[in-house]
Amino acid sequence: MKFHIHTFGCQMNERDSERMAAWLSRAGHAPAADESGADLIIINTCSIRKKAEDKVYSLIGRLEKDKRNRPDLILAVAGCVAEQQGEALLRRFPGLNLVFGTHQIGRVAALVKQAQAGERVTAIGALPDADRLFGYLPFQRAPGVSTFVTIMEGCDNWCSYCVVPALRGREISRPPAEIINEVRALTYTGYREFTLIGQNVNSYRPAIGLNFIDILSLVAEIPDVLRLRFATSHPKDLSPELTRAFTEIPNLARHLHLPAQSGSNRVLAAMNRHYTREEYLEKVEKLRAACPDIAITTDMIIGFPGEEESDFRQTMKILDEARFDGSFSFVFSPRPGTRAADMAGTVENAEGKRRLKIFQDRQDEITLEINQALVGQVQKVLIEGINPKPRTRGAASLTGRTSGNKIVHLPGSLDLIGKITPVRITEAAIHSLRGTIEDNPVSSEARS
Ligand code: SAM
Ligand code: SF4
């Protein structure tokens, strides 16, 4: 059977889709060239905000219509929406054959077999810890330079607005040997930059007793790992040791994504974040003291229930105090089953959007100021590939990233792909920089 997977949401979901593909391939199925050539279509879903969930429903609707002309097509929904809605999805969409949740990836081939036999199948719910990590198999990724490796699943933090703990289960850490083997195998296929991912990587604690700094150090030492990143860190768990790691691990990129979520202590308490704005800012200050060139980015939720104009002003203030290199910001989206969904003090959507625009406009100004300050400097850029949208046709245009995770476009030859090269920054915009190669002391040994 030929399969096609649509993936919504975060890098966690991208990795989960690869794991599904690996299990299906092992069972003798093969990826289709595109959706129209597939006998099985899986939609791997995200429900972090309502908008993400709505996109899923409109895709299921479209595929159900297509199915009228291809009655043998098997339609499956996986991931967070599947976990949340379960059997209700089968009732709402008569064309669906299979719904399977975030814990069932390792069973995908068996579930598809049941669906092929004519059953309408729902498989959701947590598994015992001992069975949870059975979903990993060596799998092939499309060739590239930079990739993500899952080191943890689940989350124990229960932020009051967030569906992740309920849908992805308790935190569990992947064994270090598995992570190291996966990274090593990926370096053989040409990957040079690795982002270790989990919902709160600071609490990485596998059964054999290592911690997050240990796994960072072990992966950093693997030959050909030119650059290492991680996401996401919870501010309450950002330790002095991790701050020190930025100065001690030479190929650890000088970038930290540290979601603040709000600048108001009242709102942070209602969000169940376990830190104050003062504690957050102190950690940022210590990071900058230890590592002055570090780029810091954040996530912010605007219009949380009970957010008054004065709370929003505190969020605007933290933006100027922390001077984030960038941020992902969203209007609060009430999610069924979360505590915040039932909290009083709803901020009207129009007001939320108004505040969001003020926030994003100021963030753009700060980002541009920070990026412009890089003009004239030489940055170490890991060249990732060809610029998909070159400004002028003809000369090869490459694209890469600085250690601080800023995209840089530059002219250069294709043999630089996968190498760290010094680039003098010549122009800066909000979302990218331009530059030219400084000398030519390119070294595949150069790190970070
Ligand atoms: N574990 C990470 C953390 O704590 O930052 C990432 C969690 S989540 C997948 C990514 C971001 O989505 C969060 O940082 C938060 O800003 C946003 N988010 C989560 N739930 C939300 C909600 N109900 N409404 C709006 N934004 C939300
Ligand atoms: Fe959600 Fe909070 Fe866990 Fe992040 S730390 S996944 S925001 S509950």
* Residue 188 scores a pLDDT above 80: yes
Q: What is the pLDDT of residue 97?
A: 98
* pLDDT tier at 329, thresholds 50, 70, 90: very high
Mean pLDDT, rounded, of the chain: 94
| pLDDT tens-digit series, residues 207-256 | 888 999 999 999 999 999 999 999 999 999 999 999 999 999 999 999 99
pLDDT (tens digit per residue) in 91-131: 999 999 999 999 999 899 999 999 999 999 999 998 776 66
Atom number in ligand 1 closest to CA 157: 4
Pairing mode of beta strands 121-123, 30-31: unpaired
Cα–ligand 1 centroid distance for 402 (angstroms): 25
- Ligand 1 centroid to Cα of residue 155, in Å, is 12
Query: Residue range 276-302: average pLDDT?
Result: 97
Give the pair of three-digit tokens for residue 268. Answer: 């942070």
pLDDT exceeds 60 at position 135:
yes
CB of residue 12 inside a 6 A radius of ligand 1: no
Structure letter (DSSP) for residue 386: E
| Least-confidence region, from 94-98, 254-258, 266-270, 440-444 | 440-444
Average pLDDT for 258-268: 98
Other Cβ atoms less than 10 A from the Cβ of 413: the count is 10
Under the banding of pLDDT at 50, 70 and 90, the label for residue 142 is: confident
Q: Is-contact 411 436, C-beta < 8 A?
A: yes
pLDDT over 90, % of the chain: 90
Ligand 1, atom nearest to 231 Cα? 2
Mutation probe of ligand 2 site: the residue of 153, 164, 300 with most atoms within 8 A of C-beta: 164
State the closest ligand 2 atom to the C-alpha of 199, by its place in the atom list counted from 1. 6
At 444 the pLDDT is 45
pLDDT at 392: 67
Q: What is the DSSP letter of 235?
A: G
Q: Which of 199, 203, 234 to mutate to test the pocket of ligand 2 (most atoms within 8 A of CB)?
A: 199
Where does ligand 2 bind, in terms of residues with CB under 6 Å? 155, 157-159, 162, 164-165, 199-200, 234
Helix (H, G, I), strand (E, B) or coil at 268: helix
**Separation of alpha carbons 191 and 314, rounded Å:** 42
Tell me if 332 CB under 6 Å of ligand 1: yes
Please determine, for residue 393, whether its predicted confidence score (pLDDT) is greater than 70.
no
Q: Which ligand is nearest to the CA of 232?
A: 1
Whole-number Å distance, alpha carbon 350 to ligand 2 midpoint, is: 26
Q: Is the CB of 232 under 6 A from ligand 1?
A: yes
C-alpha–C-alpha distance, residues 344 and 346, integer Å: 6
Segment 54-80, tens digit of pLDDT: 999 999 999 999 999 999 999 999 999
Report which of 447, 395, 416, 386 is spatially closest to residue 437, judged by C-alpha positions: 416
**Could you say which DSSP state residue 175 is in?**
P
Does 48 sit in the ligand 1 pocket, CB within 6 Å? yes
The number of the ligand nearest the C-alpha atom of 156 reads: 2
First vs last C-alpha separation in the chain: 43
Ligand nearest to the CA of 160: 2
For ligand 1, say whether the CB of 301 is within 6 Å of any of its atoms. Answer: yes
Q: In angstroms, what is the C-alpha Rg of the chain?
A: 23
- The CA distance from 137 to 24, in Å, is 11
Out of 48, 168, 237, 324, mutate this one to test ligand 1's pocket (max ligand atoms within 8 Å of CB): namely 48
Cβ–Cβ contacts within 10 Å for residue 417, how many? 19
Q: What is the pLDDT of residue 109?
A: 96
What token pair was written down for 414?
């294709």
- 278: phi then psi, degrees, rounded to nearest 5: -65, -45
Ligand 1, atom 2, lies closest to the CA of: 199
Residue 112 exposure: Cα atoms within 13 Å on the Cβ side: 28
- Give me ligand 2 centre to Cα 13, in Å: 15
pLDDT above 50: residue 445: no
pLDDT of residue 151: 95
**pLDDT over 70 for what percent of the chain?**
95
Confidence of residue 171 (pLDDT cuts 50, 70, 90): very high
Mean pLDDT of 313-336: 98
Q: Looking at the CA of 257, which ligand is closest? A: 1
| Cβ–Cβ under 8 Å, residues 398 and 410 | yes
Q: Are 261 and 307 in contact (CB under 8 A)?
A: no
